[in-house]
Amino acid sequence: MTNPVKVSVKNLAKSFATPTGTVEVIRDLTFDVFEGELVSIVGPSGVGKTTLLRCLSGLDTLSRGEARLDDRLIDGPPNELALVFQDYSRSLMPWLTVRKNVELPLRHLGLSAEERHARSDEALAAVGLAQAAQKYPWQLSGGMQQRVAIARAVAYRPEVLIMDEPFASVDAQTRFELEDLCLRIRDEYRMTVMVVTHDIDEAVYLSDRIVVIGKKPAEVMSIVDVPLAFPRDQIRTRADVSFGELRGHVLELIQAAH
């Protein structure tokens, strides 16, 4: 049985005004994300992937079309949605402890101090940073700082988690660890997750489906099912013949999308 649609995008278009006229970045995007899915969005650099996420998160208004969350029109940042950005160093407050960084968005939920502490402790434990609550972000490695950013999103307990190139600024081994963390968080908290990534291997490893966008203005070129078994494993999954075939197929689609 197919899960209900969680995020629906229909004929989404986005243009920006410039001193010389209007630039159309996205022309006509249509796709659905089902509840509990992890969907990656890939495409050539500069095609509008981050702009799409900003539209879906309510940070940018649409020029045409619509985006819906649980069939409710997204016309501002939804309370049920959280964002994790690539640049963790700019999203964390260096003068706040790790715990206070995680608790920051919880202040808008009307929770007591005890409830905020409990949520932050649970989220930090979920990302393997239970012992770092009283440290400051600048005392942590890059990978640990990104874990803090993920913990902050988890503590908010969103229904939809959107991640924009979340692992691009860390080394390869840390990237593998964060990919597995992402899958574990998705399952444990039953979130719907959307990830923008330039890394094709990462998209195949993480995803239930991959949305390939291309051309300028951007359009959906293809939606690729990823039928690899769960749970995924960094060694066995990547050694699977099907993994290599899917990787090659997505790469061909992205090259054609230029």
pTM higher than the cut 0.85: yes
The pLDDT of residue 87? 76
The pLDDT of residue 1? 47
- DSSP characters for the chain? -PPPEEEEEEEEEEEEEETTEEEEEEEEEEEEEETT-EEEEE-STTSSHHHHHHHHTTSS--SEEEEEETTEE-SS--TTEEEE-S-HHHHS-TTS-HHHHHHGGGGGGT--HHHHHHHHHHHHHHTT-GGGTTS-GGGS-HHHHHHHHHHHHHHH--SEEEEESTTTTS-HHHHHHHHHHHHHHHHHHT-EEEEE-S-HHHHHHH-SEEEEEETTTEEEEEEEE----SS--TTHHHHSHHHHHHHHHHHHHHHHT-
**Mean pLDDT for the chain overall:** 92
Go through the domains of the chain in sequence order and give each one's CATH number.
Answer: 1-80+209-258 (3.40.50)
3-7, 19-23, 106-110, 208-212: least confident range: 106-110
pLDDT by residue (tens digit) across 174-183?
889 999 999 9
Percent over 70 (pLDDT), the chain: 100
pLDDT by residue (tens digit) across 85-128?
877 777 899 999 999 999 998 888 888 889 999 999 999 999 99
